[in-house]
């Protein structure tokens, strides 16, 4: 983020660890006319969503010992930072350059090193060039049906295992139905307040 940006620190507790995240103070101040016209440009990255918290809890429960991990739609980077602390070699990606700049500050703030990619899923050349990964993770990225359609094509080209947290959106369920043939699906966690389910997808040839 620019040095002049109006940011605040939010401390998030994950599995007994405190993760300090800088984020924009005012979500509304981030809105632009272009973002109103295109929902995918809204600054969703600038908040800590319940799905990101639950994904981080699931990732913190394991030691990743050098696994190559890609986070799609990393936002403030909570899950990426937690995974890096647990030993993963993390590449964090988001469509927003502002999000990636902010993540660089957050990673340094929490003493971890990450690779970063600014990438639109409809133009994923850099993501594909960095593949394959051992694991792809994402939180609340299926808020539109078109996102699921894009990920149905993209995910098999990135990794053989995916962990996704979602607040049980109808568009997410449509995505999981669509990938039922190519992936085996299980639940790693589920909560009702707030409602979030963490799903695990694995290609059948490596399913355990």
Chain length of the chain: 208
Within a domain: 170 = yes
Exposed, middle or buried: residue 72 (CB in 10 Å: 0-12, 13-18, 19+)? buried
pTM over 0.75: yes
Query: Domain limits at 125?
Result: 7-206
> Tokens 């490596």 identify what position?
206
Q: How many domains does the chain have?
A: 1
Determine the Cα–Cα distance for residues 1 and 99; give it in Å rounded to an integer: 8
Residue 145: the pLDDT is 87
Residue 6: the pLDDT is 83
Within a domain: 59 = yes
Within a domain: 185 = yes
Give the CATH number of the domain where residue 19 resides: 3.40.50.150
Residue 2: the pLDDT is 43
Residue 4: the pLDDT is 43
Within a domain: 49 = yes
Say if residue 37's pLDDT is above 50: no
């Amino acid at each position: 983020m620019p040095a002049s940006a109006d940011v605040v620190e939010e401390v998030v507790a994950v599995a007994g660890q405190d993760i300090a995240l800088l984020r924009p103070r005012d979500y509304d101040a981030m809105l632009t006319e272009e973002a109103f016209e295109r929902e995918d440009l809204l600054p969703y990255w600038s908040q800590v969503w319940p799905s990101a918290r639950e994904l981080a809890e699931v990732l913190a429960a394991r030691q990743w010992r050098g696994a190559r991990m890609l986070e799609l739609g990393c936002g403030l980077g909570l899950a990426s930072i937690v995974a890096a602390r647990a030993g993963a070699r993390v590449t964090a990606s988001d469509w927003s350059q502002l999000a990636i700049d902010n993540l660089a500050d957050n990673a340094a703030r929490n003493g971890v090193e990450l690779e970063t990619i600014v990438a639109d899923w409809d133009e994923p050349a850099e993501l594909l060039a960095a593949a394959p990964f051992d694991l792809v993770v994402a939180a609340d990225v299926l808020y539109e049906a078109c996102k699921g359609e894009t990920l149905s094509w993209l995910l098999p080209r990135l990794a053989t295992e995916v962990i996704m947290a979602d607040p049980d959106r109808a568009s997410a369920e449509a995505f999981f139905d669509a990938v039922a043939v190519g992936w085996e699906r299980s639940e790693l966690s589920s909560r009702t307040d707030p409602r979030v389910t963490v799903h695990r997808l694995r290609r059948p040839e490596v399913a355990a």
